[in-house]
Structure formats: structure tokens, C-alpha cells
């Protein structure tokens, strides 16, 4: 382990509102930037062969990011969406990002 890990705890986000009370809920994706690289764990079985559902999830995440940027006063929501599209289009599918990870099975905590 690195000295940084020993001195500072990892910063994890809270479980979203409504999830603990939901009758059914499943985590889809967890993403971190670690030493400058994207580290991702995802529930690849969530939608089976319907990859377009992942596209919808990514679009909804984009809307959440744009709304958060607008609420923080950084950019308006429309300009934020445009910036997200530019970043997505410039990186997908042609460029390879520095990333690592593996497909894990779901665990119960």
C-alpha cells in the first residue's frame, strides 16, 4: 500500500436518496480516477445483451452532470451538455483511454 492510502481515507460517495428504501435496487457502475487512470467496476449482466440500455444510462448520467454544473454556477445546463458531448465524441470510440478494471460479480454488503 502507498503512504497516501495509509494517511488519507478514500473518498466514497453516498448511496443515492431512495435506494435504501427501494424494493429493488442494483448498483450498475463504480468509477474512480486512481493515479491518473480510470478504474471501473461494472455490473455487465445488468441489461444482458441490450447494450442500448447502457447508452441510456450514460445519457442520464450526463444529464445529472450537466445539472450539477448548472447548479454550481459553472455553466448553464445546455452548455454543459454540449461540453459533455464534445468530450464523449472526441474520446469514443476512436481513442483508448488509460483505464483498467475487471468484470466483477455482484456482492452483498
Extract the C-alpha cell encoding 35.
493515479
Per-residue model confidence (pLDDT) at position 1? 43
CA 61 to chain centre: 7
Residue 32 half-sphere exposure, CB side, CA atoms within 13 Å? Answer: 10
Per-residue model confidence (pLDDT) at position 93? 72
**Structural domain count, the chain:** 1
- DSSP state for residue 54 in the 8-state scheme: H
Whether 27 shows a pLDDT value over 60: the answer reads yes
Is 52 part of a structural domain of the chain?
yes
pLDDT in tens, 40-86: 888 988 999 999 999 999 999 999 999 999 999 988 999 999 999 99
Q: Which residue has the cell 435506494?
A: 19
CATH of the domain at 65: 3.30.2370.10
All residues at 6 or more sequence positions from 109 whose CB lies less than 8 Å from its CB, including other chains: none
pLDDT in tens, 83-96: 999 999 888 876 56
Domain that holds residue 15: 3-101
- Banded model confidence at residue 11, pLDDT cuts 50, 70, 90: confident
Per-residue model confidence (pLDDT) at position 36? 86
Is 108 part of a structural domain of the chain?
no
Is 107 part of a structural domain of the chain?
no
Is 109 part of a structural domain of the chain?
no
Extract the C-alpha cell encoding 95.
481513442
Extract the C-alpha cell encoding 93.
470510440
Give the CA radius of gyration of the chain. Answer: 16
Amino acid at each position: 500500500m502507498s503512504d497516501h492510502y495509509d494517511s488519507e481515507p478514500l473518498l466514497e460517495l453516498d448511496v443515492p436518496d431512495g435506494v435504501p428504501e427501494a424494493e429493488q435496487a442494483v448498483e450498475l457502475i463504480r468509477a474512480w480516477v486512481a493515479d491518473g487512470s480510470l478504474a471501473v467496476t461494472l455490473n455487465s449482466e445488468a441489461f444482458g445483451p441490450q447494450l442500448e440500455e447502457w447508452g441510456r444510462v450514460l445519457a442520464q448520467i450526463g444529464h445529472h452532470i450537466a445539472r450539477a454544473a448548472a447548479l454550481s454556477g459553472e455553466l448553464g445546463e445546455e452548455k454543459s451538455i454540449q461540453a459533455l458531448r464534445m468530450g464523449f465524441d472526441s474520446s469514443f470510440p476512436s481513442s483508448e483511454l488509460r483505464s483498467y478494471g475487471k468484470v466483477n460479480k455482484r456482492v452483498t454488503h
